[in-house]
Amino acid sequence: MSKLIPTLISAALIASPSSFANNLNEQLVKDHDFFSGKHGHYQQTSGKVVATYIGNWVDPKEVLKINANNISHLIYAFVEVCGDKQRDVLDDICLTLEDNQLAVNSNSTDTTFIPYFEQLKKQYPHLKILLSIGGGGRSATFEQVTENKHNRETFVQSTLDYLNKYPVFDGVDIDWEYPLTKEQGIGFAHLMQDLKVGLDALGEKNERKYINSAAVNTIDYLTQFIDYSQVAPSTDLIFMMTYDFYGPWTENNIGHHTNLKTHPHNTQQGYGHSVDAAVNKFISLGVAPDKLVVGIAKYARGWQGVTEHKQGGPFGTATKELYPASIDEAGIDDQRQ
């Protein structure tokens, strides 16, 4: 790179998370015109997972706008947990609940989504809806939940009670961001194991199969704390966070934040991130390929004032200035449809 690059923006080209294919180089089935401006149709008999999230911060009526013909799973985000580190906004709800129970009651926002989920499933019977627990900035109580067996039992029973009360949900998605010690990693494995036992028992009682899944980061720094050979057997799906590989926190080495392949010259300082690298890593850690789901962002990340990086990656070194300057959050451009 011999000159200044005024702007670099990385964007996801797919609007929703897509499933992992056993062979990343497998030729795409040409069942529609990719440049027609029309959506291709998800093949509901393929056995692949095509999932997307819907947040509880939107109008519940947005649920009915979802074209569930093109997805297999809808993940409702997020239900939180009561405990010492709960967010202040949960204080009123958790006042009458025990620590380690789900922070839900008849007055919580979550109940307003239930009738819309029920309508959606009537229209699309194939659709699986998962209850996502935790989330970025909402996961602090997982440390307390996994401290001991009693706390885990309280959490699991609370979760099972909620699924039994609202049969529109087909399982759970644990979104702990993130276990940061070996002890927490062990606690995470125990939590997934206990949930699996509980979900199987509830499924036998209700004559249905409940899904036990988790959303996990894929970078080396965070995967080091978790023994996935202990997690995988009790987990049906692992939603890999194969996005945010680069951002404002990586100003000395930037690139596409949800790239398929690792750039061969952008691996300095441990930045050899990509979907391909994540998939191969998790397989090496003992996770079956058919449990892996690739995450693809619905937004772009960008920088401006990018200068040559003689010792770093091929894209250069970003200044502290992000691009776009301000769309919801500096440096992010949402791709809404």
Give the model's confidence band at 263: pLDDT under 50 very low, under 70 low, under 90 confident, else very high. Answer: confident
Domain that holds residue 202: 44-241
303, part of any domain: no
Residue 108 lies in a domain: yes
CA distance 30 to 40: 10
The count of structural domains within the chain is 1
* Residue showing tokens 């009915």: 64
Mean pLDDT, the chain, whole residue set = 86
Interval 210-226: pLDDT, tens? 999 999 999 998 999 99
Query: Does the pLDDT at position 77 exceed 60?
Result: yes
DSSP code string of 262-308: --TT--GGG----HHHHHHHHHHTT--GGGEEE---SEEEEEEEEB-
- Between residues 126 and 44, the one the model is more confident about: 126
Write out pLDDT tens, residues 116-160. 999 999 999 999 999 999 999 999 999 999 999 999 999 999 999
- Considering the domain boundaries, does residue 121 fall inside one? yes
- The CATH number of the domain holding residue 125 is 3.20.20.80
pLDDT at 113 over 70: yes
Please say whether the beta carbons of 316 and 310 come within 8 A: no
In a domain, 316, yes or no: no
Q: Catalytic residues, which ones?
A: 177
- At 28 the pLDDT is 46
